Every structure is written in C-alpha cells, then in structure tokens.
Amino acid sequence: MTDAAADVRPGRQLSVQLEDLRSARELLEGVIVDTPMEHSRALGRMLGATVHLKAENLQRAGSFKVRGAYVRMARLTEEEKARGVVAASAGNHAQGVALAAKKLGVKATIYMPRGVALPKLAATRDHGAEVVLHGSNVDEALAAAQKFSDESGAVFIHPFNHTDVVAGQGTIGLEILEQQPDVDTVIMGIGGGGLLAGSAVALKQEAARQGREIKLVGVQAENAAAYPPSLAADALVPLQVVRTIADGIAVGRPGEIPFEIIKELVDEVVTVSEDAIAKALIFLLERSKLVVEPAGAVGVAALMEGKLETLGIRPESVVAVLSGGNIDPMLMLRVIQHGLSAADRFLTVKLMLKDRPGELAIISRIIADTDANVIGVDHSRIGGELSMGDVSIVINMETKGTEHSALVLNSLRAEGYEPLVMN
C-alpha cells in the first residue's frame, strides 16, 4: 500500500477524481460551512510539530456526513427526487440525509434501530425526516431500509459506498489544502471509508500536481478494524464482531468503492484502543474546548499514542480531522469516566484495616496530605477474606494523573498500609 500511495499520478483512473471533488464543492456552496482549523499547541508539543485540528464537529448537522449525502441527492434526477430517499443510520448519516433532503425538498425516510440515542432521534426528526424505528442494530435497520427501497421505489442513500458520496466527503481535503497549505501529514478515522477515500483523492492528487508528498494515515478502533485485514488480503474481509464506543466508525465491512481508492492512495492504516479514544476525547474537551464524538477523536488518539513515530513518519505540519461531534450526553458521561480512569485521574484502592477508632481518620489524613480528593468510601466488616477485628474499605479518589496516583500509593505504603489498586 505504501509504495502505491507514493506513486500518485493525477491521471490514474480511480473511480473518483480531483475534478469530481471540485464539482461537488460547487454543489455544496451555501449548503455547508467551511469548518475552522484549530491550532493545538498541546499536541504540537507532544509531536514536536505544528498540529491543527480540522473541526468538522462544528459542521451543520454535527458531522461531515451532510457533504456526501447532499452531493449524492443533488445529482438525482427529478423523477428520482419525486420518489423520495431512504437511509439507515444510528446517527450522523441519518442527520446528514435528513438535512440534505430538507434543503432539496425531497421526502426522506430514515430507519434507525430501537434504542437509538434520543438526541440523535430528535435531531433527525427536527430536520423533517420520517423516522422508522426498526431492529436492535444498524444492520437490521439497513435491511429494512433496503426492503423499503425495493418496495416503494425510494432511492437508497448509502453512507459511503457511492462515488458521489465519496466526492462530497472529499471536499474536506480541498479545504485542508486551502486552510493549511504547508500540511505534510493528515490523519483521520475510517469506518466504511468514504471520508478517507475522498480526502485521499484531494490530498494525494493535488500534492502530486505540486510536486510534493502528503502522508495520509487512517485510524480505526481496534475492535472495529476491517481495513487492516482487508488491505493485507487485497479483498474485502468482513468482521464477525464489531464492538466500540466509536459508533460512528463501527463498520464491519469496507465499502467497495472507498476500498479501491484507499488501497491505492493511503499510506498507512493504524488502530487505537478504547482507552486511547476515551483519553483523546477528554483531551479535546480540556485542552481545545471541543466536544467531539469518539469516532471523531480517533485521529487525535493515534497522535497521542505516538503512532506516527512508530510508522517512522516525522511530520512538520499535521492536520487531524475531527469528523463529528454528535455524542449522546449519557455516552459522554461514561466515556469521560472511563477516560479519566484510563488516564489515572481516578484511583480506587482497597485496604485492610484494624477495626478500631481513628483508623479511617489516619487514612484520610495521609490522602489529604497528598492533595488527592476522596469522592467515595465503602466500609465493610463482613467478608470471607476478613479476620475477626478487621475491616475492609474501598476508597475512590480523584488524582492529577499517573505520577500523582503513585504518590498516593507510596504515601500509604510508607505508613505501613498495603493498598490494592482496583480497576
């Protein structure tokens, strides 16, 4: 893949060309916003490079999906528009199709799985789409949407596997080149591959015209990573199980059209853990003041984990694409808690104490002296591991990170206690 990506010729006959992206951008004029490019000094210090964040989480409908959906639907014939459109999604694609349909005056029916996050359901309906709740997951909703299309004649709008969709998503690449002309490395998430494929056409073909190179790295959640085995086999390899907090890229099989482009143009595809995604989301909240969904944070997660260095890429100017910001508040709460724990900002310890007055006060004093904050204590005199006269306590604390947690533990050990760290 890397050798092919290095040999990019503007005339190579891919299914989507630079001219298609420019045409798509004309269609999107006045429909979307050119999202801002935010400078991240904190990430820059980590990488020793200039780092910018392409804030597509601030796009209309909260993600890049409206770009591809609108281009696909704007190019329908009048007869096709009269039949209406149908799509299936648990979130971003649903809102993108609904907004595009509203702008074009087209009836939209969106199948969403039962149990979909209420904010995403409400946003899709607010754009005027008819929402049908069906099935327990997106695959079941997708099958129902396809059946509806077959029976009603409504045009099925695929989230990534269509050349018009890929061209629309790729307009992000054109904006990156205009907003950060000296960029030499771009990193972004991959689900089905439409965003990465379209951006690759823009970035690689324009760089080739300029006689320079732009490295392009895709990122998948390690529990939803269909691209690495597919690229290795040079064939679409579906996953049997997909499970990740990054639901926006939880796709078990690459799209045929994006795959053909990605294997030709993209330099590397890497994976990141759930912990890394959660840490990146918190980092973006705290340091950049940006609300980003887990799928939109995977590029930053890869930067924070040093993936570019592992690949031997030493950039001077990096752009990470924040692809969306549609996160359910309840999921955000869970991700924040998980991310703080993964970053050692929460510390839970279990201690065995003598059941005598003042023992808990001593523990509290030791913890207070380290400037950690106790947020919960569970106290028990009953349990198979306890001897007569002993007591077990579990203490939940807020700390400032790994070094601070180590200080708390060492302070307890120095006073003769044996804290057991609990996950």
Position 422 scores a pLDDT of 84
d(CA 142, CA 149): 11
When pLDDT is averaged across residues 86-114 and rounded to a whole number, the result is 95
**Kind of pairing between the strands at 215-221 and 390-398:** unpaired
CB 109 within 8 A of CB 154: yes
Residue 348 or 196, more confident? 196
Quick check: 140 pLDDT over 70?
yes
Q: How many CB atoms lie within 10 A of CB 290?
A: 21
Active site residue 54: no
Label residue 385 by pLDDT band (50, 70, 90): low
Q: What is the mean pLDDT of residues 109-128?
A: 90
Statement: residue 389 has pLDDT above 70 = no
Active site residue 323: yes
pLDDT at 1: 56
Q: Which candidate in 40, 230, 323, 392 is catalytic?
A: 323
Of 42-56, 215-229, 267-281, 378-392, the least confident: 378-392
Long-range contacts of 309-313 (CB under 8 A, 24+ apart): 310/270, 311/217, 311/268, 311/270, 313/185, 313/215, 313/217, 313/267, 313/268
Pairwise pLDDT comparison (379 vs 95), residue with the higher score: 95
Q: Is 105 helix (H, G, I), strand (E, B) or coil?
A: coil
**pLDDT band at 272; cut points 50, 70, 90:** very high
- pLDDT beyond 90 at 103: yes
Kindly give, in sequence order, each residue whose CB lies less than 8 Å from that of residue 163, ignoring residues fewer than 6 positions away: 15, 16, 20, 257
Q: Please say whether the beta carbons of 252 and 242 come within 8 A.
A: yes
Q: How many CA atoms lie within 13 A of 288 on its CB side?
A: 27
Span 19-37, average pLDDT:
97
Judged on CB neighbours under 10 Å (0-12, 13-18, 19+), 291 is middle
Per the structure block, which two tokens stand in for 255? 């799209």
pLDDT band at 38 (very low <50, low <70, confident <90, very high): very high
Average pLDDT of 344-372?
89
- CATH number among 3.40.50.1820, 3.40.50.1100, 3.20.20.300, 1.10.1200.10, domain 67-156: 3.40.50.1100
> 380 pLDDT exceeds 80?
no
Query: Is residue 199 within a helix (H) or strand (E), and if so which, with residue range?
Result: helix 194-210
Instruction: Report percent pLDDT > 70 for the chain.
Output: 95
54: confidence class by pLDDT, cuts 50, 70, 90: very high
Better-scored residue on pLDDT, 382 or 145: 145
Provide the 8-state DSSP code for 162: S
- Dihedral of CA atoms 277, 281, 282, 288 in degrees, nearest 10, equals 140
- In CATH, what is the architecture of 344-422? 2-Layer Sandwich (3.30)
Q: Give the residue-averaged pLDDT of 305-334.
A: 94
More confident residue, 172 or 136: 172
- Residue 8: its pLDDT value, please? 46
Q: Does residue 3 surpass a pLDDT of 70?
A: no
Q: Is the pLDDT of residue 11 over 60?
A: no
Average pLDDT, the chain: 92
- Residue pair 222/273 in contact (Cβ under 8 Å)? The answer is yes
List, in order, residues 6 or more apart from 167 with CB less than 8 Å away: 16, 20, 21, 23, 24, 68, 71, 198, 201
CB 142 within 8 A of CB 113: no
Residue ranges matching CATH 3.40.50.1100 in the chain: 2-63+163-339, 67-156
Q: Give the span between the Cα atoms of 340 and 343, in whole angstroms.
A: 5
**Considering 40, 54, 65, 230, which one is annotated as catalytic?**
65
pLDDT at 366 over 90: yes
Does position 2 have pLDDT exceeding 80, yes or no?
no
pLDDT-wise least confident of 138-142, 165-169, 221-225 = 138-142
Provide the sign of the torsion angle of the four alpha carbons 290, 121, 91, 33, taken in this order. negative
* Orientation angle between helical segments 402-414 and 359-369, nearest 10 degrees: 140
Reply yes or no on whether the pLDDT at 252 is more than 50. yes
Tell which CATH architecture fits domain 2-63+163-339. Answer: 3-Layer(aba) Sandwich (3.40)
Comma-separated ranges of CATH 3.30.70.260 domains in the chain: 344-422
Find out whether 303 and 187 touch, Cβ atoms under 8 Å. Answer: yes
Give residue 12's pLDDT band: very low, low, confident or very high (50, 70, 90): low
What is the average per-residue pLDDT within 299-319?
97
Pairwise CA distance, residues 119 & 116, whole Å? 9
